[in-house]
Amino acid sequence: MRASKMAAEGKQNREMHISGAEGIYSVSEISRAVKRYTERALEHPRGSADNIVITIEKISEKIAKIPCLQLATLECISPYEAKKIIIKKLAELGISPKALNTAFKILESSKAMRGASLVLMQSGKRAEPDKQRGVRVSRLGIKGPDKALLKKRLSKIKINTETVREALVLASKIASAPDIIAEVCISDDPDYTTGYIASGTTGYLRIPNIKKQGSLNGGRVFFVKENSDTGKIIDYLERKPVMITVKRQGNGKHF
C-alpha cells in the first residue's frame, strides 16, 4: 500500500508521502489486510491520505526463510546524543565520514522519501536510481508461530506494537541482503521519536529520542559495499519473497 496527499498550496502541488506498508498474506487474509492498510492511510499522523494505491500480486516463487535480528534498546536522551551514537556504531562497521554525511542529509531533510536511499559506504555516493522515491523493500512477512513468538517476546519488554514488529521484520530482510553493511532508520511520523540502526553484526538497536517530537523528517538509509552490484541488491529488496523466522530459544544474535 502507498498513500499520499497533495502538499499545502505554495509547495507547487507536490505529492507528499503519507504512509506505505507491505506484507505477504494468504488469500483468506487479503481482505482484512486491505481494510487495515486503508484505515492506516486514512487515519495517519502525517495527515489523511487523498490517494491510496493498493497492489496485490500472487507469489509463485519459493519463499525464503530469514532469521529475525536480535533486538536491544540503547539509552539515549536527545537527538544530539543519538547522532553521536549512530556515528560511533556505524564507523565501527567501516562506514566512512563521507557516507555518514550523505546519510544525515537524507534523514534530516524535510522531503520524506517513500523508499530508502542506498549509500556507498566509502565514497558516500547515492546509488538508488530514483532519488525522490528511493528503493521500497517489499515481499516480506511473518506468520503463524513465528509471529506469536515475536509478539510474546516484545510483550515481555512492553514494546509489542505493530510499528516495532513491522520495523524489525523489515530490518531483518534488509540485513539479509547481499552487500548491505548497515541500515539507519528514523520514522517520518511526527509522534514517533524512536529510530534504530541495524546490521547482521549489531542486530537491531533501538535509539529513543532520535528526533524531536513533532518533526516530519525521517527516512531510511542502507549502506552498501562500495563496488557492489546495486541492481542485484535492489532486485533482492524489492522482489525476493522472504518470511522472518523467530528462534524457539531466543538468544545469540537472533531474536
Question: Interface with ligand WAQ by CB under 6 A: which residues?
Answer: 20, 22, 112-113, 115-116, 134-137, 163-164, 167, 170, 185, 187-189, 192, 194-196, 206, 218-220
Q: Which does 220 bind (CB under 5 to 8 A by kind): ligand WAQ, Mg ion, none?
A: ligand WAQ
The secondary element (H helix, E strand) that includes residue 34 is helix 30-42
**Cβ distance to ligand WAQ smaller for residue 28 or 143:** 143
Least separation in angstroms between CB 164 and ligand WAQ: 4
Between residue 104 and residue 163, which ones bind Mg ion under the rule CB under 5 A?
A: none
**Cβ distance to ligand WAQ smaller for residue 20 or 200:** 20
Is the distance from CB of 169 to CB of 212 less than 8 angstroms? no
211, three cell numbers: 528526533
**Cβ distance to Mg ion smaller for residue 146 or 189:** 189
Helix%, strand%, coil% for the chain, nearest 5: 30, 25, 45
> Interface with Mg ion includes 189 (CB under 5 A)?
yes
Least separation in angstroms between CB 68 and ligand WAQ: 13
**Cβ distance to Mg ion smaller for residue 179 or 188:** 188
What distance in Å separates the CA atoms of residue 153 and residue 198, rounded to the nearest whole number? 19
> Interface with Mg ion includes 183 (CB under 5 A)?
no
86, three cell numbers: 549512530
What does residue 239 show for φ and ψ, rounded to 5 degrees?
-115, -30
User: Interhelix angle for 144-156 vs 162-175, to 10°?
Assistant: 120
Place of cell 563521507: 98
Residues within the interface to Mg ion (CB under 5 A) = 188-189
